[in-house]
Amino acid sequence: MSAETPIRFGILGCADIARKVSRAITLAPNATLFAVASRSVDKATRFAKANNFPPNARIYDSYDAVYIPLPTSLHIQWAVLAAQKKKHILLEKPVALNVAEFDKIVEACESSGVQLMDGTMWMHHPRTAKMWEFLSDANRFGQLTSINTCFTLAADADFLKNDIRIKPDLDAHGALGDAGWYCIRAILWANNYELPKTVVALRGPILNEAGVILSCGASLHWEDGKVGTFHCSFLSSLTMDIAAIGTKGTLHVSGFVIPHQEKEASFTVASETGFDDLVTSWVPPPSDHIVTTDLPQEALMVTKFSRLVGTVKNGSAPEKKWPNLSRKTQLVIDTVKASIEKGFEPIPVEY
C-alpha cells in the first residue's frame, strides 16, 4: 500500500466535536470519510448527511482508522475494542478517566500493532513548531524558568446543566479534563515533556453539585526550580494564553488552543529586553510573528495521523511518541485531581 493512499476513517459517535474532525478528514489530502456509527442508524445517517460525508460512505462498515469522540468514561471500552479489531485510533482528549485505564488502551494498541494519537489539535499547527524554535534557542530565550497557561470559557446555563463535560458518569474531570488538558500539555511541551517532580492544586476550585470541576488551577514544580502554573474554567471569559519566561527571553501566545483566525496564528517574543533611559518604553520592543497555513490545525492533525497509519500499513512500527505524550498529560491530570482530593497537598508525579 502506498503511504499516499487515503486512509479510510470511521467516526464512532456523533458528538459536536465530530463535526469539526469530519470536516478535517475531508480537507486532509490523505484521508477520507468512510463510515459513521452511532447508537441508532437514523442518527448516524443524519450526521453523515449534515456533515457532507461522500455518497459512498457507509453507516457501519470496514475502515482503516477510527476517530473516537465519545464521553471519556466510554473510551476504555470502545478504544480497546477498536484496537482489537485492528483499527488505528484517533482518540479525543482527555484520553481516559485515569492513567490505569489509558495504559489498557495502549496495551491493546501495542498488541494489535495500531497507531494511537490523541486529538490535541494545536500541537500540529505550524505556529507550534515556530514557537518551539524560539524556546529552544539558548541565545534568544535562554533556559525556561516559569510558564503560565490559561484556558477559560464562559459556558451558558444550558452547558452547565446538560453538557456531557459536567456529568460525573460521562466526563468526570470537567474543566480539568477538557480545558486543563490543553494547559498541562502546553506546560509539558515548553519543558520538552520532562515531567514535574510534584504537583499542587490551587485552593478554591469550583465544583458543581455532582462534584465535577468547573474551575481549578495548579502549580507544577521541577527539581531544578522551574515552575508551571495553570488555570482552567467553564466560568470565565474565553481566554487561551501561554506566557513562558526564560533567562533571556519571553514568549506570549493568545489563542494557543484555537487560533483567532483559521489560517493564521500569531505569537509575541521578547529577547534581552530592557528600558530606555527614561524608563518609558521597552528596548528593543517585543516582536510579533504571524504564521499562516493552508490547512487548519485539525486537518494537519488528521494528515499527520493518516501519514503514520500509512507507514504502519507499509510495515513500520507504530510511533510511540504520541501515546507517550498522552500518558504524561493524563498523569498530571490525575495528580492535580489527587491534590484537590487530599486537601491541596503536594503530590509526587510517579511515571
Backbone angles phi, psi at 48, to 5 degrees: -60, -40
The span from the CA of 349 to the CA of 351, in Å, is 6
The pLDDT of residue 236 is above 90: yes
pLDDT for res 85: 93
Read off the C-alpha cell for 116: 494511537
Task: Give yes or no for residue 320 having a pLDDT over 60.
Answer: yes
Lowest mean pLDDT among 29-38, 235-244, 261-270: 29-38
293: number of Cβ within 10 Å: 17
Task: Answer for the pair 132, 191: CB distance below 8 angstroms, yes or no.
Answer: no
| pLDDT computed for residue 49 by the predictor | 56
The neighbouring-strand residues paired with 317 are none
The answer on pLDDT for 81 being more than 90 is: yes
Residues 106, 121: Cα–Cα separation, whole Å: 20
Distances 292 to 55, 80, 295, 303, 323 between C-alpha atoms, Å = 32, 37, 9, 17, 28
3-state secondary structure of 308: helix
Beta bridge partners of 344: none
Question: For the segment 109-162, what is each residue's pLDDT rounded down to a tens digit?
Answer: 999 999 999 999 999 999 999 999 999 999 999 999 999 999 999 999 999 999
93 annotated active-site? yes
State yes or no: pLDDT of 48 exceeds 60: no
SS3 105: helix
Q: SS3 of 243, please? A: strand
Categorize the per-residue pLDDT at 12 as very low, low, confident or very high, splitting at 50, 70 and 90.
Answer: confident
Pairing status of strand 144-154 against strand 227-233: parallel
Quick one: which H or E segment has residue 32? strand 31-37
Neighbours of 151 (CB within 10 A): 26
pLDDT at 60: 46
Considering the candidates 87, 93, 226, 337, report the single residue annotated as catalytic: 93
Whether the Cβ atoms of residue 334 and residue 326 lie closer than 8 Å to each other = no
Give the model confidence (pLDDT) of 195-229 as tens digits. 999 999 999 999 999 999 999 999 999 999 999 99
65 near 89, Cβ under 8 Å? yes
pTM: 0.92
pLDDT at 351: 85
Structure confidence at residue 75 (pLDDT):
97
Query: Residue 1 pLDDT more than 70?
Result: no
Could you tell me the pLDDT band of residue 46, with boundaries at 50, 70 and 90?
Answer: low
In which band, very low, low, confident or very high, does the pLDDT at 33 lie, cut at 50, 70 and 90?
confident
pLDDT band at 40 (very low <50, low <70, confident <90, very high): very low
**Per-residue pLDDT for 235 more than 70?**
yes
State the average pLDDT for the chain: 92
Q: Are 188 and 267 in contact (CB under 8 A)?
A: no
Looking from the CA of 55 toward its CB, the CA atoms found within 13 Å total: 0
Average pLDDT estimate for 51-65: 60
Q: pLDDT exceeding 70 applies to what percent of the chain?
A: 90
Q: Would you say how long the chain is, in residues?
A: 351
Residue 207: all three cell numbers together? 465544583
Is residue 122 within 8 A of residue 257, CB to CB? The reply is yes
Determine the Cα–Cα distance for residues 94 and 17; give it in Å rounded to an integer: 13
Outline where the chain has alpha helix (H).
Answer: 16-27, 41-50, 75-84, 99-112, 126-135, 157-162, 174-190, 297-313, 321-341
- The model's confidence at residue 19, banded by pLDDT at 50, 70 and 90, is confident
pLDDT, residue 215, reads 98
Strands 264-271 and 249-254: antiparallel
pLDDT at 317 over 50: yes
**pLDDT at 343 exceeding the cut of 80:** yes
Q: Would the CA dihedral through 301, 193, 215, 13 be positive or negative? A: positive
Left (φ > 0), alpha (ψ -120 to 50) or beta: where does 179 sit?
alpha
Q: Is 259's pLDDT higher than 70?
A: yes
Give CA torsion, residues 87, 90, 91, 93, to 10 deg.
170
